[in-house]
Amino acid sequence: MPSPDRIPRPTASEEHPQAVTIGPEGTQFACDCPADSRIAGYFDRRSRKRQEAGQRYEPGAVSKALHEALIAEGPAGRTILELGCGPGAMLVALLSEGADRASGVDLSPEAVEEARRRAEEAGVASRADFSVADGAHAALTPHDWVVLDKVMCCYPDVDALLGNSIPVARHLYAFAVPASYGWRGAIARAALSLEAVALAILRRPCPAYVHDVAMIERRLTEAGFRPVTRHTSSFWHIAVFAR
């Protein structure tokens, strides 16, 4: 079976909507970074639904496992960039645990606003900034750590995302992706395919992809990183690479 395995690719018009960047002081300005409007719309709806229900986003088991792996590497004094930061739970937690500064990038404007509020409530807003942009194309600045928690699976062209994000990681690159190997990979592909059908029926499409984990890790190794943590949580591959 070819890799990545694909669930329908966005059309050109869906891949290139205009995004808005939100600065640390709440200022907004146009950003031409391409983004898939279907993914942004899906997570916008999820964020609004939480807010309407008065609920607070809480990380799931995979995000918690990745967070624990990052804590083991010591976030104190580090600058951290998270691509696909969502409502900001990971970055706010790492700032609360001693990280110096953090930047979050996400396709969903609603999730970014939720992240900003979460940072304010935690008292770390002065050390955090959040932007609406596409991590595969946005101009990124170097940070000590780069984190992608269940994000690569949102990208049909993972090469562009890796090519844009790996060079800005000074010391550490961490990610969680669907496992692409063995029986876990087969189940991950099947589950994402079924999810795609269900979301299409509900008219809430959110494309997802299973990318070759070995290729991702090879790209990191070629850039001078070495694995310090690698394990599987359910059907997700979690890894931390450092140099």
**Scanning the structure block, which residue is given the tokens 């990610």?**
175
Decide if 150 contacts 66 (C-beta within 8 A).
no
Model pLDDT, residue 226: 98
Model pLDDT, residue 163: 96
Model pLDDT, residue 13: 33
- pLDDT digit string, tens, across residues 49-60: 888 888 888 999
Mean pLDDT, range 26-37, rounded to an integer: 41
- Residue type at 219? R
Helix (H, G, I), strand (E, B) or coil at 214: helix
Sheet holding 236-242, edge to edge: 128-132, 101-106, 79-83, 143-149, 169-178, 236-242, 226-233
Helix (H, G, I), strand (E, B) or coil at 16: coil
DSSP string, 53-120: TT------HHHHHHHHHHHHH--TT-EEEEET-TTSHHHHHHHHTT-SEEEEEES-HHHHHHHHHHHH
Model pLDDT, residue 206: 57
> Is 4's pLDDT higher than 60?
no
Average pLDDT score over the chain: 82
CATH topology of domain 13-242: Rossmann fold (3.40.50)
**Burial class for 164, CB neighbours closer than 10 Å (0-12, 13-18, 19+):** middle
- pLDDT-based confidence at 208, cuts 50/70/90? confident
Compute the distance between CA of residue 177 and CA of residue 170 in angstroms, rounded to an integer. Answer: 21
Q: What residue ranges do the domains of the chain occupy?
A: 13-242
> Is 175's pLDDT higher than 50?
yes
Which two three-digit tokens encode residue 156?
């049909």
> Is 70's pLDDT higher than 90?
yes
- pLDDT digit string, tens, across residues 141-155: 999 999 999 999 888
Model pLDDT, residue 218: 97
> Is 85's pLDDT higher than 90?
yes
- pLDDT-based confidence at 22, cuts 50/70/90? very low
> Is 127's pLDDT higher than 50?
yes
Model pLDDT, residue 181: 84
